[in-house]
Every structure is written in C-alpha cells, then in structure tokens.
Amino acid sequence: MKSAIFPAILLPALVSMTLFWASNSLLLDKANDNLSTSHIRDCALPVKIRLAFPYQSPSLEIVNFSEPYAFMVNGWLSTDICEKGTLVITGQGQIADGVAPILQIALDSRLIWKGAFREASTVMIPIKSKGHLTIGYFNDFYSSDYRSAVMEGVRLQSEGCQSFTVDTPVGTDGSWNIEKRTLGWLSPTPITLHPCGAGKLMFSISGKEGGKDFATIDISQGEKSLRKIRLSQQPQEVVISINAQPLKIRIINPYFKELGDRNLILRKVKFIPER
C-alpha cells in the first residue's frame, strides 16, 4: 500500500488510487528544464546523485545504506556528469496491471536509455559526454478495492451550544475537515465525536462500494447502539438524538483489497568515469 498517498482516498474527489502520469517524455523535459544554462556542475567523485522530484518526499524510501532508492511513486534523480563514463544501475521491479516499472535516462533533456525491470538485473549505460543526467521513473501504478464512508455537513443542535470535536486515530485512516464539516474513513477503528451537550446530530452520509457491497455504519453512545446505517452511493440525510456522551462511529463490515502496486527499487546507481 502506498502509505504516502493512502489518506487522500478518503474524500470522494480523491478516492481513485490509480496513479498514471500522462507523458513520460514531457516529464523528462520538465526535469531537465529546471537546470539553468548558468548551472555550475558539481564534478566531485564519486558522483553525487540527488533526489530531484518529489523533493524530500517519503514516497522515495531508503531501503538501506547500500540499496538507497525505492520509488513508490513517479519521480526522478539527477546528477551532473563532467566526463565520459558508464552508468551502472542494478534495479528490481514490482509488476502491476501486467506492466513492469520502466526507468528512463536522459542527458541534457535527450533520452539516451529506456528499459523495464521485471526482476533483479544490472544495466550498463554508456555516457558519451558531460551534462546533466536525469534518472526517471514515470509509469507508477496503484489500484485497490475498498469500502469507505463519508459524512458531510456534520452539525449539532443543542441548547446553549453547537460545538463538537472529532478524533480520528491513526488506525481509522480517517480525515476530518473542520471547515467543510466532512468526515471520511474506511477502517473498522472507531472515530469518536465529542458533543458539547445533548441534542440532535445531523449529517448526510454516503459510501463507496467495495467487494460488491457498501459499508454499514454503527453509531453508539456508551454500550447503546443509536443507529445502524447501510450506506449507498446516494447520500442519506440522518438526524439522531444524542446525549452529552462521546459517540463512537465505526464501519462494522470493512473491506480492503490491494489490486496492484507498481514500484521500482534501484539497488545500485554508480557512475564509473572513463580512464
């Protein structure tokens, strides 16, 4: 599962977990266009390979000190080459949707090598001149099937107060937007709503189908279940009389299945100068 992007699936506009970037060649151009003509090349050896995009992102994980680059999303590395030589790359791919991850190498925006990694293998790429080198992965893919729930327009009517707070523990994979009063989540871990007092809790609720069924929500206070709601794609308007105790809101029939996750691990990236 793509941990860096997983929380984003909780709202309707972000529920798709399939990640494709439209144009590989344009991305390579974009990567190299960031290099100004006045750029001073770092000619120190060994060559310093930098993460260029996504900059300081957890989506590129450190595997260990000797196997440093694990691309979990689209991205690229860059470095400056100041002489002829050979780029040695050992990579290993994780196939998804029947397609292997593809690595592209460009020198000053010109594609010089492109290849797929289906299993652990090493390639040796001749670098025939100095320049700005880009090592890019642009065909990332992720897909999953899951049930989720979204509560919108959550509000409280109570004598003397109308406020409440919402706790979404890490295990809920939940997201509470206080400005839009929208709550989205997909795991069975309960979400807790703390009302300021007794009154009526009102909201609209809908869900995404997963495993050929929709989620069923249980809303309880103390040991008492106040309402069970079987969701559908069509929003349902709900009004529940509550007391001042915290409410527990949970999905009682969660479902999640990963369908595909394409990643690329570069176990070694080394430039050997020509001597």
| pTM of the predicted protein model | 0.72
Coil, strand, or helix at residue 6? helix
| Three-class SS of 8-69 | HHHCHHHCCCCCCCCCHHHHHHHHHHCCCCCCCCCCCCCCCCEEEECCCCCCEECCECCECE
CA 79-83-89 angle, 5° bins: 50
Tens place of pLDDT per residue across the chain (275 aa): 554 333 333 333 333 333 333 334 445 555 544 433 334 456 667 788 888 887 655 555 444 334 468 898 899 999 999 899 999 999 999 999 999 999 999 999 999 999 999 999 999 999 999 999 999 999 999 999 999 999 999 999 999 898 999 999 887 788 999 999 999 999 999 999 999 999 999 999 999 999 999 999 999 999 999 999 999 999 999 999 999 999 999 999 999 999 999 999 998 899 999 87
CA distance 121 to 100: 13
CA distance 271 to 268: 10
| Upper half-sphere CA count for residue 178 (Cβ side, 13 Å) | 7
